[in-house]
Structure 1
Amino acid sequence: MSTFKGKIDEFPGISIDDFEGNNLKSSIYFLSHVHTDHMRGLYQCEFLKRLANEKLTLYSHEVSTIFLRSRYPDYANCFQYLPINLPTTLKTADKFEFNVTLLPAGHCPGSVMFLFESDKHTVLYTGDFRLKLAEFKKFKGLYTPQGTLKRIQKVHLDTTFMFKRYEQFPSREESLGAICNLIEEWLEQDPKNIVNLDTRYRYGAEFILSKIYERFKMPVHVDQRSYDEFYKYLPNMDKCVTLSKNTRIHSYCNGYKSFCSSGETTIRKIVITAMFWKDWSKEKQINISTSNSNFCRACYSTHASLQEIRDILKFIKPEQVEANVVPEDDICDTNEMLDLIDECIEGNTPIKRSPMKSRLSEESHSKYYDCQKKTDKVDTKGNNNVNVEVSDDDDVYDEEFHKLRSVKDKNLIKNGGEKRCLDFDLSMFD
């Protein structure tokens, strides 16, 4: 869950992935992808009307832009997309000029990182990402016209899994093979058997659904709303999903986190998750099932592992890293994460680094220093080590949006045009 507040100090007048509070004073906006923890305030009338009245623009990848224009057709002109790996020059209302380059993030279709460049500063905002170093190195936007790597002083980093317990994850191909094996095993046991895929998010599992179709030539049943608001705009998904119940693989086909079922079938539920898989290594299984085989878990991550993060930081050698995901309810986790950040950038900085508290919210940095003063012994009965069970849901919707859809300004959500995205490149998730 992103805790980034939208602002980059070196680039005044812009806001990223947060569209409420002080961010309403910005004059240029950016959205890394359409998951709700990166869309705070975007659905509110105050923000949408400000975009239109002030003739402001929110920039994103083409896939995200098409979704936004469809969802808010009355404000379609406020949403624009930028090219990948090519710099675009923009200027804020206060005449601050800078370049921005979109880089693929590999988190979900349309997810991007933003590389911001001015005369004095170069800052990378990753949003949510999962990339291998070999993929990252190929991005032309990271290099000067002479072919040298740009000097990136600061990174605003996706730190979702920046913990030693998430040192590594199986590759996407390994995970997809394990998921498909669970499906195949169950479907072959009995012609009445069906599969319920719990992907933990409504939007973002497209690569999984694509690989399932590729292997079984069988589409996955999804609900009407998911199809109308997402899949019909993605040509790649035409054969991969269906509105018909006459298939043996289903995913949120009766509404979000709900499943159409029949008493005549036997269901295997496959939960696809990452947070469950602590201390995974290549010697361990990628999937597990219960004794009756009706419930299984499979490891699949759309966020970078600690090793993947470490590899990229070692490559670009930033002077400073700010965490986009701070577990403020678990101080020991926060400490571990910040220590790992310092390990990754040690030796990169020619001048003294900012203190750790500069990378935390004002509320949490006091907790950090309080925790530093305590002994290594943790009082598990007290409030100093609150272990919260965190869901790795990455939903594109939230309750506020549901309320807006049903009650507020329905004209904002009316059906838009039928423009479809260009085919998105599934290989970026490989």
Structure 2
Amino acid sequence: MSTFNGLLAEFPDIRGEHMASNPSLFVYCSAATREILLRLETVACRINYAQGILEARQLSYKHLRNLLKPLPLDTPVELELEPGNHIQVTLLDANHCPGAVMFLFEGQGKAALYTGDIRSEPWHVNAIARSPSMVQYAYGLKTLDTIYLDTSFIEDIEFPTKAQGISELLDKISRYPPNTIFHFQAWTYGYEDVWVALSKALESRVHVDEYKMGIYQSLLAKDSGNKRGFGVLHHLSPEAPALVGFMRGNSYHPGCLTLDENVRLHSCEKGNYCKTVRENPIVQIHPVLTHLRNGEDLPELGIGGGGDDLEHDEEQEHLSEVQIQMVTKFIRWLEKSAEKVELLPLESFASGSKIEIGLELLTSGADNKTALLNFLQDLINKSKSQIALERSMLAAHNAAEGSLPSLITFPYSRHSSYAELCHLVDVFKPKDVWPNTVNPREWLEQGITIEHLFGKHCSGNSFRHDKLMEEMFGMREQPILISDDSQSTASHPASSRHTPSSPAPQVVDSWDGTTIAPNLNLEGSFSQISVQSEASFDMRTHAFYLMLDNAMNNAGHDIGLISTRDHHTNKEVELGET
């Protein structure tokens, strides 16, 4: 999930992904993004509407209708930020999902490329490089100051291309009998090409629920001057004609998506399955990131956001085997702990699951501890029984179908692999790279830096993100302990300039047995720091560690007044003092 706060050092007057922080500003995006965004609903609202509980759809972003300003792709557009302050913006396809774009910002002698979520396959990088707006940067006539890069995946793991993944999928489904019914779990946007390929291969349209159909039909806009209901149709994304149809002369030619349930291929929503899916044996199709060498699949697990745009896990009422192990570990810690349970850290052991727990179990108090332990133990027992039942049913189904599996997985990542990111950076050779997705704790433990990841592909040798990490954490000389039975060899050199006089925070023991430094949430801190004096930075860093020591150890340090703009960084003189 992106941790980028939207601030670009080169252009401080603009901000990306700012809707939550300031919903009164104009939002520039692609036309497809605007139409999709205005129709988004939460899972609960769209399920309740489908079941007749709600009389009208509850649109999450309808209040932005007058603020969303669509821009065309591959077209430099000059925007006036304020009188006399202009910037040129170009939208470029991101190969991620309908409407997803990169932003090229130019002006005031600066240039920056913000990728957002991107799948930079080789063909896609070549297409960007030949774009009229990017040719100068691809061939060294100009240099990008910074690429703000989608760093969702920085492990050195190979991802097959989307075409290779689709080819594997089509080969697998070709082995099934012609009357087999498939259900493709498209949990978010970005799998439209899979629908088209499956529809063509199976010679069947794809049944979707009304919510999905409405979303994709919004990408098909009619001429506003047409009052008879037919005429020229404008497609807001390249996928739209194949999905929801087009006009052939005066005749409408439908796309591959349909509301008709009597087809072989389905992508209707979990919790609102159609009768065909509910009452017939189904072969499930699930996308994964890649097949690992040990034979396991690497799931995406909602990386990059959008985890329940089109699908959700409301029907999952039990834990996986890995989650059972995590819950068991948590129970052991809870039984030994003498402290009150302030909050059950569900996200720590049930990532990807939505287990309903009564509110009374989440509140503080010793009386709830026994109830919480009983609930978790019952959950484990139920999960183990459910897993055994599912395995038995799967084995019986596979035997009846001649050993053909009831679950098909295929590699199809909507985000770039590390090798693909390196290729993208190498083609444009920017001065610097700023990561859009960062796990500070993981980066610190493993010694991950921008210089190490992308330095050899950049034209510059100074990396702002590395400097920020060093300034905030570089004084930590000792290695960080990862677990009680193993130690990390990763450490960071001490900073020669920013060493606080107060002691560094002590490590603490967490419920999962790890010994770690305090988990600092830096999503709001990982921004481009304005120019400030060395003295003011020292004071802020010093105050930062004093606050941590106060919070964790009740140290009682006196913290002076601090200003974000350095106006009041120095302690004020009290009245009567000279």
TM-score, normalised to structure 2, is 0.52
**Alignment match, 2:513:** 381
- Are the aligned partners of 1:163 and 1:333 in contact in 2 as well (CA < 8 Å)? no
Shift of 1:107: 0.3
Tell me the SS of whatever aligns to 1:266: coil
**Alignment match, 2:408:** 296
**Alignment match, 1:8:** 8
| Aligned residue type for 2:17 | D
Q: CA-to-partner distance for each residue in 1:38-91, whole Å, 9 max, x for gaps? A: xxxxxxxxx2xx25xxxxx32111211233456666754432222222211112
| Aligned residue type for 1:18 | H
1:113 equivalenced with 2:99 (yes/no): no
| Aligned residue type for 2:268 | Y
Residues in 1 aligned to 2:447 and 2:175: alpha-carbon distance in whole angstroms? 39
Unaligned runs of 5+ in 2: 40-58, 220-239, 245-254, 300-393, 399-404, 489-511, 519-578
- Are the aligned partners of 2:115 and 2:147 in contact in 1 as well (CA < 8 Å)? yes
**Alignment match, 1:61:** 30
| Aligned residue type for 2:87 | F
Q: How does 1:128-207 map to 2 (within 5 A)?
A: 128-131=117-120, 132=122, 133-144=125-136, 149-164=141-156, 166=157, 168-188=158-178, 191=179, 193-201=180-188, 203-207=189-193
Residues in 2 aligned to 1:121 and 1:280: alpha-carbon distance in whole angstroms? 46
Shift of 1:206: 1.0
Question: C-alpha root-mean-square deviation of aligned residues, in Å?
Answer: 3.6
Which structure has more relative contact order (CA 8 Å, sep 6+)? It is 1
**Alignment match, 1:406:** none
Shift of 1:306: 0.9
Residues in 2 aligned to 1:271 and 1:385: alpha-carbon distance in whole angstroms? 37
**Alignment match, 1:237:** 243
Residues in 1 aligned to 2:175 and 2:406: alpha-carbon distance in whole angstroms? 12
| Aligned residue type for 2:155 | F
Equivalent residues, number: 338
| Aligned residue type for 1:227 | M
**Alignment match, 1:35:** none
Tell me the SS of whatever aligns to 1:92: strand
Shift of 1:343: 3.9
| Aligned residue type for 1:198 | Q
Shift of 1:341: 5.1
- Are the aligned partners of 1:105 and 1:126 in contact in 2 as well (CA < 8 Å)? yes
- Are the aligned partners of 1:254 and 1:260 in contact in 2 as well (CA < 8 Å)? no
Residues in 2 aligned to 1:221 and 1:297: alpha-carbon distance in whole angstroms? 20
- Are the aligned partners of 2:451 and 2:463 in contact in 1 as well (CA < 8 Å)? no
Unaligned runs of 5+ in 1: 25-46, 52-56, 387-430
| Aligned residue type for 1:181 | D
TM-score, normalised to structure 1, is 0.68
Shift of 1:254: 5.2
Alpha-carbon spacing, 1:265–1:350, altered in 2? closer, same or farther (3 Å): closer
Shift of 1:305: 0.9
Alpha-carbon spacing, 1:74–1:20, altered in 2? closer, same or farther (3 Å): closer
1:332 equivalenced with 2:442 (yes/no): yes
**Alignment match, 2:426:** 314
Percent of counterpart pairs with the same letter? 24
Shift of 1:295: 1.9
| Aligned residue type for 1:211 | A
**Alignment match, 1:252:** 268
Tell me the SS of whatever aligns to 1:140: coil
- Are the aligned partners of 1:162 and 1:340 in contact in 2 as well (CA < 8 Å)? no
Match of 1:356 among 452, 466, 469: 466
Alpha-carbon spacing, 1:20–1:182, altered in 2? closer, same or farther (3 Å): same
Residues in 2 aligned to 1:184 and 1:157: alpha-carbon distance in whole angstroms? 38
Moved more, 331-340 or 147-156: 331-340
- Are the aligned partners of 1:108 and 1:204 in contact in 2 as well (CA < 8 Å)? yes
Shift of 1:225: 0.9
Residues in 2 aligned to 1:8 and 1:355: alpha-carbon distance in whole angstroms? 12
